[in-house]
Amino acid sequence: MIIPVRYVTMNWMISAVILTHNNEDSIGRTLASVSWCDERIVMDDMSTDTTVDIAKKHGAVVYKRDLLDDFAAQRNVALAKTKGEWVLFVDSDEVIPSELAREIQSAMTDTHSTIAGYFCKRTDVMWGRELRHGETTHVMLLRLAKKNAGVWRGRIHEIWDIQGKTEIFHTPILHFPHPNVAQFLSEINRYSTIRARQLHEKGIRTNLFEIIAYPVGKFFLNYVWRLGILDGMPGAASAILMSFHSFLVRAKLWIKV
């Protein structure tokens, strides 16, 4: 059961923040999984489908703002609008399972805690299969923190840069990325462009050897060394497409995006 209920009385108000862009197929499920939060904010990147309508029907407060290819800025704007002492960031293709909700609620009852933030593991579920190997099993994301503990940094692959002690929750977030290959390729094209621009702005350059060798090495790492081969076809597709993402980033960087 992925829709949690309120199990304990929290001593702190918690706000959930979700960034969206044309996520009508998944936003309802995501919002339902954080129904136990005191406040739910959706920061929408000018969606043209029914994402906003669905979010409002689920009781979320919706703000519309052009992303402008800067995820950290979008998150910081949303962070400033929250009312909770604690803020939980959830992506629009993610679900907070009930076990993780209980862990969060339990942590929020400790009024004497010196912890400033919590990392979450994440498990990918692709095309109906949970990936237990490969790159995604090594993901660790800072998603819950005190509102004033820090800010988000980075146009893409952004991180929440906070000050203070952190801990790790045991139960992972469930991630349902790329419902089909076409969307996977579309997102890879978009995100690789943003990443290439970010690297170019930092003065980072590439060469022909890196353009070829890096994606090949990444595929070997994820599919063979990290045993992505054991995840069947979804594991193979994930390893290939993530390597293709690495290729596109460096190719676009080579031609200056």
Residues 6+ positions from 190 with CB-CB distance below 8 Å: none
pLDDT for res 214? 95
Which two tokens mark 35?
Answer: 């129904």
Across the strands, what pairs with 91? 19
Across the strands, what pairs with 146? 86
How many CB atoms lie under 10 A from the CB of residue 152? 21
> 92 with 174: CB under 8 angstroms?
no
- Domains of the chain with bracketed CATH: 14-175 (3.90.550.10), 181-254 (no CATH)
> Over its length of 257 residues, how does the chain's per-residue pLDDT go in tens digits?
444 444 456 678 999 999 999 999 999 999 999 999 999 999 999 999 999 999 999 999 999 999 999 999 999 999 999 999 999 999 999 999 999 999 999 999 876 679 999 999 999 998 889 999 988 888 999 999 999 999 999 999 999 999 999 999 999 999 998 777 788 888 899 999 999 999 999 999 999 999 999 999 999 999 999 999 999 999 999 899 899 999 999 999 999 86
**Strand segments (E) across 127-229:** 129-130, 140-146, 150-153, 159-162, 165-168, 173-175
DSSP-derived secondary structure letter, 62: E
DSSP-derived secondary structure letter, 115: E
C-alpha distances in Å from residue 250, one per residue of 71, 72, 192, 196, 198 = 20, 22, 9, 7, 12
pTM of the predicted model, to two decimals?
0.89
Spatial distance between the Cα atoms of 170 and 120, rounded to a whole number of angstroms: 8
Q: Which residue has the tokens 């595929």?
A: 219
Closest CA to 171 of 89, 86, 101, 87: 101
